Chains A and B, each alone.
Chain A
Amino acid sequence: MTEKQPLNRDQMAAVLAQRLADGSIVNLGIGIPTGVSNFLRPEQEIVLTSENGVIGYGRLAGAGEEDPDIVNASATQSVTLNPGAAIVHHADSFALIRRGLVDVTCLGAYEVAPDGSFANWKTTNEEWNNLGGIGGAMDLAACSKQIFLALEHTTRDGEPRLVKKCALPVTAPAGVTLVVTNIAVVSVRDGKFILEEHAPGYSAEDIQAVTGAPLEISPDFRQVSV
Chain B
Amino acid sequence: MPRPRIFTSMDEAIADFPDNSSLMIPGFGPGQPINLMAALWRQGATGITSISNGVGFAAGAEELRGLGDLVMAGRVKKVIAAFTASTRPSRAGTAEELIRSGAVQAELAPQGTLAERIRAGGAGIPAFFTPAGVGTETAIGKEHRDFDGRTFVMEHALFADFAFIRAWKADTAGNLIYRRAARNFNPIMAMAARTTIVEVEQPIVEAGTLDPDQIHTPGIYVHRLIQIPEGGVLHVDRATARAILQVRYHDPVPEGQE
Contact = CB atoms under 8 A, between A and B. Distances in A.
Contact of B133 (A30, A77, A131, A142): A142
A137 B111 CA distance: 8
A136 B110 contact: yes
A133 B248 CA distance: 14
A52 interface: yes
Contacts of A120: 87
A91 B118 CA distance: 8
B96 A51 contact: no
Given A91-B118, A130-B99, A69 B113 contact: no
Contacts of B110: 134, 136-139
A170 interface: yes
B27 to A, nearest CB: 8
Interface stretch (B38-46, B60-68, B135-143): B135-143
Contact of A128 (B131, B140, B235): B140
A97 B112 contact: yes
Contacts of A123: 85, 87-89
Contacts of A94: 111-112, 115-116
A128 B106 CA distance: 11
Contacts of B137: 122, 128, 169
A98 B130 contact: yes
A134 B184 contact: no
A89 interface: yes
A76 B240 CA distance: 10
A143 B33 CA distance: 31
B73 interface: no
Contacts of B130: 98, 139
Given A70-B180, A120-B87, A138-B133, A89 B82 contact: no
Contacts of B100: 129, 131
Interface size class of B (residues with CB under 8 A): 35 or more
B184 A53 contact: yes
A66 interface: yes
Contacts of A54: 180-181
B83 A68 contact: no
A70 to B, nearest CB: 5
Nearest to B85: A131
Given A130-B106, A131-B106, A142-B134, A76 B29 contact: yes
A70 B182 CA distance: 8
B179 A131 contact: no
Interface in B163-209: 179-188
Most buried by A among B107, B133, B135, B136: B136
B145 interface: no
Most buried by B among A67, A128, A138, A171: A138
Contact of B181 (A71, A91, A130, A173): A71
22 contacts: A53-B183, A54-B180, A54-B181, A69-B30, A69-B182, A70-B180, A74-B29, A76-B241, A90-B184, A91-B115, A123-B87, A130-B106, A133-B87, A134-B83, A134-B111, A138-B132, A138-B133, A142-B133, A142-B134, A143-B132, A169-B136, A172-B135
Given A133-B85, A135-B82, 15 more contacts: A53-B184, A70-B180, A71-B181, A75-B28, A76-B242, A87-B180, A89-B216, A91-B118, A98-B112, A128-B137, A130-B99, A131-B106, A132-B83, A133-B83, A140-B112
Interface of A: 30, 50-54, 66-71, 74-78, 87-91, 93-95, 97-98, 120-124, 128-140, 142-143, 169-173
Interface of B: 28-31, 82-89, 96, 99-100, 105-113, 115-116, 118-119, 130-138, 140, 179-188, 216, 235-238, 241-242, 245
